[in-house]
Amino acid sequence: MAFREDGVTELRCVLPFDAVPSEFRLLRRAVRSALGSWGVMNAADEAELVVTELATNVMKHVGEGAPATLVLEPRGSRLRVELHDKSTVEPKVEGKAGCDEECGRGLHLLASMSVDWGTLLTGTGKAVWCELSLVADAVCARAQRAQTAIGRYRELLGVRLPGQVVGSRIDQESAVTLIADVLVWFALRGSDPDEAILRAQQLYEAREAA
């Protein structure tokens, strides 16, 4: 198994391996090393478990010793995990979460741990991918509160967002407008907008440090 960072994308790890049990330990070690170098060790345990399940599925359903490639890439608040193999047979989740390993235990686990997941046919086979959250639950809750407030404010502005895409350019512009209006609110009440910005920044930094 080899380790390299893709030269096109700065934070991208490509790990070719053979689907045999002896490689899985090395694969997990490489995953933890990559996440450590990127400063996102909080996702290491989940990433190791997901990668092990995906690699095991390749061994079971494509064949022991089958060549495969793991790709890791942090994308904002998520970690993208892709497992490429040379089979064009797409996996399916069957039965219930409590079923045995032969009816898709790995995929049930993948679905329960991921923010999103799916399969993609490639020129040489397929890729099973998933995205793991890189932020803690408390941070997610704060971001969700902000998203709700921004969405309601956007409605007040009469701006429509097709598909309600979180993190879109429209939402970002709405957030900036909301911040500007809040500063006007402070000024009209005799408070210093600059002081409000400073307090907000201090609160943000304190929570980030925690």
Residue with tokens 């921004």: 150
pLDDT value at residue 124: 92
pLDDT value at residue 204: 78
pLDDT value at residue 154: 84
Residue 79 structure tokens: 């970690």
pLDDT value at residue 105: 60
Angstrom CA distances, 190 to 160, 178, 183, 200, stand at: 33, 19, 11, 18
- Low pLDDT (below 70) residues in the chain: 1-10, 93-106, 136-141, 161-168, 207-210
Helices (H), 39-168: 44-61, 105-113, 137-157
Domains belonging to the chain, first-starting first, are 4-133 (3.30.565.10), 137-209 (no CATH)
Instruction: Find all residues with CB under 8 Å of 102, minimum gap 6, and list them.
Output: none
